[in-house]
Chains A and B, each alone.
Chain A
Amino acid sequence: MPVLNDPATVSEIASLHDAYERALAANDIPALNGAFWDSPHVVRFGVHEQLYGAEEIAAFRQNSAPVFTERTLVRRQITTFGADHANVMCEATQRVGGRWRTNRQTQVWVRFPDCGWRIVAAHVSAGPAAMPPQGEAALQWVDAASAAVRLTVPPDLREPVAQQLLRIESIVGPLLAFNLPDGVEPPAVFTP
């Protein structure tokens, strides 16, 4: 029976997965390809595609641009079996087309004597629409503020509006943090 979750092995896989996530965010195609086993036996199921063999995976990377932004890992479980086998299962939230979505990723890693750790099988799927971490506070804000301005926000629009508020918050951050000198007045009618 191989050793389950040997700490050194878990740590190694965590670093490799961190590097993979960085490569994803940067669309670093050589790094992404390098993580996968260079073999006709490797398989990757993406959200919209089924790819068999390293060549198909590399061709896919070359010909497609990633559509997500602001990917954040929410939960990751690494399970290692002995020193040469590991699974990574993780959940992330990311923005696709302006909407937050959950994303699920499975990776099966094997350590090869000649080239070290490689992904031998992977599967990515999209989950339902999600709220990002600050979501609950934003929803409460929508409820309270819409009542204050007497604007009914129907149930199906609560989350999309909350997501827009979060987006606005992230953009206006630099303004809100800015220390203006005392005594600057807003204009009555702006003159350039």
Chain B
Amino acid sequence: MNTLFHELGAAEIASGVASGRWTARAVAEAALDRLGSTHSRLNAFTLVTSQRALAEADAVDAALADGRPAGPLAGVPYSVKNLFDLAGEVTLAGSRIQASAGPAGADATAVRRLSAAGAVCLGAVNMGEYAYDFVTENAHVGATRNPHDGARSAGGSSGGSAASVAAGVVPLSLGTDTNGSIRVPSSLCGTWGLKPTYGRLSRAGAFPFVGSLDHIGPFARSVRDLALCYDVMQGPDDQDPVCTGRPAEPVSATLERGLEGLRLGVLGSYFTPDAGGPAERAVQRVATALGATRVVELPHVEAARAAAFAITACEGGQLHLPRLRTRLREFDPAARDRLIAGALLPASHYLQAQRFRCWWRDVVRSFFRDVDVLLAPATPVAATRIGQETMRVRGSEVLVRPNLGVYTQPISFLGLPVVAAPVPESDGVLPIAVQLIGAPWSEGVLLRVARVLEAQGVCASPVVLRN
């Protein structure tokens, strides 16, 4: 069988498995093969669960042979950021410290739901230590390299997720986003990414970072696959107190509805990227394709970013305080000093940030009375070089690491749903994504808009693996 499985999307694979065109086993073996042959180039995987993958694939094939119906993700291989619990495996969360923790007793809720849909877990992928980075330059296992250019970052902190999808090792991956960690790697690797509404998807079994801001979400190479994975994971979960009690609201069936009735705008002021740069070009292409001419200026965005920063520093520092007391030297130094500083901040910073969050939420809600989707760049620049310390933004040199998330942080601060829509590489120009931002619980609308962009060829995520 000569099928190039790695070029197929999740929906296609599942359809082929369900119809008997190919076995789940064949798909899993091909994916494991590609994982092995691309590993030294990407450094994406930190754990390969080949036994589990083959067992899950065989179980899918056996169920079909028994006449049972195939799940929506039958035989589809996927990877998970290594902060998701996998039963029997140690959850690293990008750290060395967690390596001495016991193995997880059960899969994370999201993983369990993917399994139940027939998906096949290939393994866990690299991330920035404890999710506190935008570049996936992990001090313990090294940087994950961008499939478009091996000298460049895959973005972070879900860099392994984005790289494993962009390079065609898996069609789906699970990541997390606190201040941008799904959207930044989607932008740098040129994949589709979804950060749903805060509380939409259960985070149970995912190692936390900032409880007030953590989201989980999928990466994929097509809108249809993104929607499919998202639908499978939806639903209430008592084990995550933040997870909404709203019933699942599947979006896959309404993807092709087009733009009718939708009002679109482009975020200005704070979100205006450098003139003539790749971020501006990408936003303009997307805005033109969607007929979005209206500019919307949200007030107080700098204060919002500051508040997200304060909440992150405080909650992140507090979460790790016991480990900072006893295992200080085992932290990545880049994360360590920031975590300590966060643990020393006064309560007034934190409470002011949380109060501001409630107040600003109401301010921004009022804008969504007149508009359904807002556009903004996902990152100020395309993929930076691994180890690059500064970059030019708005006429001055700024540090790369904190500033890759400058456009994502104020949006996730309010828990608004976002699709990262990749404008693909062309003529040697690297990919970069545009944020499609909606009102809470409007993932269906965002994915409809994403589908329009994909159908027009403005946004795409082809398999890429260059030197």
Contacts and interface: CB of A to CB of B under 8 A. Distances in A.
Contact of A173 (B306, B325, B395): B306
A68 B397 contact: yes
A67 B309 contact: no
Interface of B is mostly: helix
Given A150-B325, A180-B359, A192-B416, A161 B341 contact: yes
Interface in B357-407: 357-359, 361, 389-390, 392, 395-399, 401
Contact of A176 (B349, B416, B441): B349
Interface string A139-161: 00110011001111110010011
B399 A168 contact: no
A149 B344 contact: yes
Interface string B413-425: 0111000000000
B398 A175 contact: no
Interface stretch (A8-16, A51-59, A114-122, A183-191): A183-191
Interface residues of B, number: 53
B352 A151 contact: no
Contacts of A62: none
Given A149-B321, A180-B356, A191-B199, A67 B340 contact: no
Contact of B397 (A67, A161, A168, A186): A67
Contacts of A167: 341
B198 A174 contact: no
B462 to A, nearest CB: 31
Given A153-B340, A161-B337, A189-B242, 10 more contacts: A27-B397, A97-B389, A97-B390, A168-B345, A172-B349, A174-B306, A186-B354, A186-B358, A187-B357, A192-B415
Contacts, number: 132
A67 B361 contact: no
A172 B341 contact: no
Nearest to B415: A192
Interface string A97-126: 110000000000000000000000000000
B355 interface: yes
A152 B351 CA distance: 25
A178 B300 contact: yes
Contacts of B338: 164
A143 B307 CA distance: 25
5 contacts: A96-B389, A174-B306, A186-B351, A186-B357, A192-B441
